[in-house]
Amino acid sequence: MICVIDYGAGNLPSVVNALKTIGVEAVVSEDPRDVHRAGGVILPGVGAFGDGMRTLRELGMVDALRKRVVEEGVPYLGICLGLQFLGRRSSEYGDHEGLGWIEGDVVPIQPTDPSLRVPHMGWNEIRIEQDDPLLNGDSSPGVFYFVHSYHLSVDESDRQWVTATVEHGGALTAAVRKDNIFGVQFHPEKSQKAGLDLLRNFVELVGG
């Protein structure tokens, strides 16, 4: 069973519909008990980092995720904000603590080319940096849909976990993989075939 965490961040229907398209019925839940029962966890998200982390803590999801994902090794896929939560902290509207599973901070996008707009929005091609089972197949390399103004800047000590980057006035983290923990800055549920391929690969890792 795959649990899609509901913490009021929106865009859940599009993720659930994408999973249905590939034949997967996910459980959408704000109950940590469903995380403990899940064979895989998807944490999508749009909105502000601080609000999202605060809600996850209030729901008891942070402890549940640490137990199920970090300690027990269940596959995790963070989408957009769900990737950014993996870092230590974010400077979006203040200073907010993240999950701290990857050594890095969420900072504003600052393109070296002033003609490039922020947010980074629309289709862009990723560059594969490391092996990542989610990016195998037709989606490697691929063009995916992005919408974000902040990005996870990963410390040099943890750069081996960055599996893909995207160019937007400099290389930005597009995907990470640390053992059973996966994150993508783009939206696979909005990325047509390449995105469905990625979700299908995640489901295969879960054993579904």
- Could you confirm whether 96 is annotated as catalytic? no
Copy the structure tokens of residue 203.
């489901």
- Could you confirm whether 187 is annotated as catalytic? yes
- The catalytic residue among 148, 151, 168, 187 is 187
- The catalytic residue among 3, 80, 129, 148 is 80
At 90, give phi and psi (nearest 5°): -130, 145
- Could you confirm whether 25 is annotated as catalytic? no
The CA–CA distances, whole Å, from 112 to 2, 18, 32, 39, 104 equal 40, 35, 42, 42, 20
Active site residues: 80, 187, 189
